[in-house]
Structure 1
Amino acid sequence: MKYLPLLIVFYSCLLHSQKGIVYYGQITSPGMKSPAGPDLNSFLVFDKKESYYVTAKDSLEKSVANQKAIYTGSNDQQVAYNGDKTFRYGKQVYYDRKKDSMWWSQRFRGNIYVSEKRPTIKWKLEKETKKIGNFKTYKAVGEFRGRTYTAWYILEVPLPYGPWKLQGLPGLILEAYDEKKEMYLYFKSLEYPTENKAIISKVQREKGDPEGWKSIQDFEDMLRNSIKRAYNRMVLRAEKKNKEKPNKPIFNEIYIESF
């Protein structure tokens, strides 16, 4: 019996050194007031020290990469996608627990690469549970950059990871969404431990992309300046045609990360 505590410690260390992979679907549809955008495959590969999430990647979406589609939200707004839903390396998020930092890529007039300290999400743990797949999941609600997210996590994998940039809970997040489900991340399957050869990668770059990293403030400024320029062009076109001045766009209805 004296060896039992040592065995418990051994198996606990073994568990946390193992690699896992969870597969999700991701629907991103800002301003649509519902999950009304392209339904893309994604996955999160992780171990005790780090994680890597990727979506909108060419190799994950060969059947839909070049399809044209029109999506209609609950407010009857329509958005057309003309075959540019994916690209070579996709949208990536790499998280290093020891450095407590994230590095990620986003598509914005080319590829943008951002480095930041891990955003702290103040989750409120709820009593409510529900079954997702074969797992009993627990509810948490937290604020992240201007939106309120609901997340469902499991205790079988006691690591603070989740899809996209959502993290910081007592266990792995299987499902998450904001109030309108304009960011909707849902569970498909989990392998833990796994023998899958997917690597926990640092953010990969397209050939010819600039080196270095933008700050999160740089990224926000780029988004806001882009909206401002687009609005000014709309105003000029309206003036030339003697039409009514358009309403100013609302930032958080255009970009999921509304800061």
Structure 2
Amino acid sequence: MKYLLVFSFLCTTFIFGQNSDQTSISVAYLLTFNDRHSQSNSLKEYFNLLVKDDKSIFQTYNERESDTLREKNIAIPTNTNEYFSFNKFSILFDDKNLVFNEKVGSEEYQYSESINLKWQLGNKNKEIKGFQCKNAIVNYGGRKWEAWYTLEIPVNAGPYKFKGLPGLIMKITDSTNSYDFEFFKMRKRDIDRIYKFNHYKPEDQRIIMERKEFNKYKQSYDELSLSEKLNIGSTGSKTIIERVDGEADQTMRRVTDSTIGSSDVNPIEIDHHK
């Protein structure tokens, strides 16, 4: 306990005592999740949150490394799991406005959203990684979430789309325990600005959607079998996902809104079922 408290003090002092216009804060989170209702073992993946003033970027560590390679025009190995990621999305925040990008199949999708979460501050306390935390409750994306934040790190930020509390969010879990983000570590980085992540597709080739439309489409894709996914885009394919905007090629099988929510898929946002 003494070691953790000393670590907490030194870490906070290091980041905020020496902060300048040329630095940003890099926070690592571990996501433990079940994206299938029938999963017996949870999946785990590390994410990185890079924060500079009111701007931030959130994505998995493997996707961030892939971005770096693409930016440098270095080919990403396809015969190795080194850069594999379960979650191929990136979230760029500018104050309360975000741009969400995700690669689904061979395409890249994008939507914009304004976030103004209605937090209910609680009166519970907990220690996480040596930091004293308080709890708060919020509803977002069809799920109820409990967050733990610390006033010892006065940063308005957190994992995924969660922010708006008077301190860094150290842990946040949905009420079904399907998704749990927890603080792992943090450090200062010598970066003077938050830069955009490198996209899979040029801007004019990205597919722009509304948030709920994209979530319907993404779940339709996740409901397909591996062989069906591999067939998408292939010459002579007889399996394709129906775009929620109505633009779909002729197909032998069509996934429609009526099938949404009837499968084993358990996405992080579920309010598109309504």
Q: TM-score, normalised by structure 2?
A: 0.63
Per-residue deviation, 1:22: 0.9
Q: What amino acid is the match of 1:137?
A: C
1:87-98 matched pairs, under 5 angstroms: 90-97=88-95
Q: 1:218 aligns with which of 195, 213, 217?
A: 213
Equivalent-residue separation in structure 2 for 1:227 and 1:19 (angstroms): 35
Q: 2:267 aligns with which of 250, 255, 259?
A: 255
DSSP-derived class of the 2:37 partner? coil
Q: 2:27 aligns with which of 22, 38, 42?
A: 22
- Which residue is equivalent to 2:146? 150
DSSP-derived class of the 2:98 partner? strand
Asked if 1:134 is matched to 2:146, the reply is no
Aligned-CA RMSD value: 3.8
Q: 1:46 aligns with which of 45, 51, 66?
A: 51
Structure 1 residues 253 and 142: CA distance shift in structure 2, 3 A: farther
Q: What amino acid is the match of 2:214?
A: F
Per-residue deviation, 1:32: 3.4
1:30 touches 1:253 (CA, 8 Å); kept in 2?
yes
- Which residue is equivalent to 2:245? none
- Which residue is equivalent to 2:247? none
Q: What amino acid is the match of 1:258?
A: I
Q: What amino acid is the match of 2:143?
A: R
Structure 1 residues 15 and 38: CA distance shift in structure 2, 3 A: same
Equivalent-residue separation in structure 2 for 1:198 and 1:40 (angstroms): 27
Per-residue deviation, 1:110: 3.4
2:119 touches 2:138 (CA, 8 Å); kept in 1?
yes
Deviations 1:192-213 (CA, angstroms, capped at 9, x unpaired): xx13559623242115682363
2:24 touches 2:51 (CA, 8 Å); kept in 1?
yes
Equivalent-residue separation in structure 2 for 1:121 and 1:50 (angstroms): 17
Equivalent-residue separation in structure 2 for 1:107 and 1:66 (angstroms): 19
Equivalent-residue separation in structure 2 for 1:159 and 1:41 (angstroms): 20
Equivalent-residue separation in structure 1 for 2:175 and 2:38 (angstroms): 9
Structure 1 residues 105 and 131: CA distance shift in structure 2, 3 A: same
Asked if 1:32 is matched to 2:37, the reply is yes
Could you list the runs of 5+ residues in structure 2 that have no partner in the other structure? 1-15, 67-75, 226-238, 240-258
Q: What amino acid is the match of 1:103?
A: V
Q: What amino acid is the match of 2:270?
A: S
Equivalent-residue separation in structure 2 for 1:34 and 1:136 (angstroms): 33
Which stretch of the first structure deviates more once superposed, 215-224 or 160-169? 215-224
How many positions carry a matched residue from both structures?
211
Deviations 1:45-84 (CA, angstroms, capped at 9, x unpaired): 102120111116256699xx956xxxxxxxxxxxxxxx99
Deviations 1:191-248 (CA, angstroms, capped at 9, x unpaired): 2xx1355962324211568236322143134246557988xx9xxxxxxxxxxxxx98
Q: 2:198 aligns with which of 190, 199, 204?
A: 204
Equivalent-residue separation in structure 1 for 2:108 and 2:193 (angstroms): 22
Could you list the runs of 5+ residues in structure 1 that have no partner in the other structure? 1-11, 68-82, 234-246
Equivalent-residue separation in structure 1 for 2:183 and 2:161 (angstroms): 15
2:125 touches 2:135 (CA, 8 Å); kept in 1?
yes
Equivalent-residue separation in structure 2 for 1:228 and 1:22 (angstroms): 32
Percent of matched pairs sharing the same residue: 19
